[in-house]
Amino acid sequence: MSLPLRVLKRYTSLEETDFEIFFKAEFHRAGRPDLDLSIFDIAAACVVQTHAECVVSWLDPPLKNRGGLAVDGCSGTHTPRRTPAETEFAYTKGNHLELGFLHEEELRAFARHAFDSRAARDRCASREEVRTYGRAQLAAGDREWEEAIARKPKWAKELER
C-alpha cells in the first residue's frame, strides 16, 4: 500500500494549535511559501526507514523524534511529479515527489486540510525507532548505511549509544 508522506521539519508542529505558525514552520522554505512541496510516496511499512534516511542525509545529531503526516487526499487535483531527493539512500531518493502549487492559496488549502486532520494523519517515528533501524542496517552490513555513516562520523557516534 502506498503512502504519500510529508516529513515535517519540527516534531512539535503536530502539537501546534495555531494554523499560521504550523503553515510557516512546515510549508515555507527560505521565508516564502514552498510551492514545490516535497513529499515521499512510500510503502506504508517504511515510515521509520524514510525518517531514518532523511535525518541521516540532512541533519546533524542529536537524534530527535521525527514528525510526519500522511497527505493522501490533501492535494486535490494536483499531480505529484517524481524528482530525486538529495538523500544518501536509494529508497528515499527514488520515492521522492514534488507537489507543485500555482499560488499560496492552493498551498494554504492543502496545508489547512493536513492541519485540520493531523491527529489522524500522524506518521511519526520516535528517536529510538530511528536509532534501532539505523543500527539494524549497519549490523546487516547495508552498504548504503555504511557509506553514509563513513561520510558522517557524528552519526556513527549517535547510533552507537
pLDDT tens track for 30-80 = 999 999 999 999 999 999 999 999 999 999 999 999 999 999 887 666 778
d(CA 113, CA 117): 6
Residue 125's DSSP bridge partners are 66
pLDDT of res. 60? 95
d(CA 113, CA 1): 22
CB 66 within 8 A of CB 10: no
Q: Is the pLDDT of residue 2 over 90?
A: no
Q: Which of 148, 128, 122, 92 is nearest to 16 (CA)?
A: 122
CA distances from 35 to 65, 75, 87, 98, 104 (A): 26, 12, 21, 9, 7
What is the dihedral angle through the alpha carbons of 22, 28, 31, 35, rounded to the nearest 10 degrees? -150
Provide long-range contacts, Cβ within 8 A and 24+ apart, for 20-28: 22/111, 22/115, 23/108, 23/111, 23/115, 26/111, 27/107, 27/108, 27/110, 27/111
Summarised one tens digit per residue, pLDDT across range 92-125 is: 999 999 999 999 999 999 999 999 999 999 999 9
d(CA 39, CA 84): 11
CB 68 within 8 A of CB 125: yes
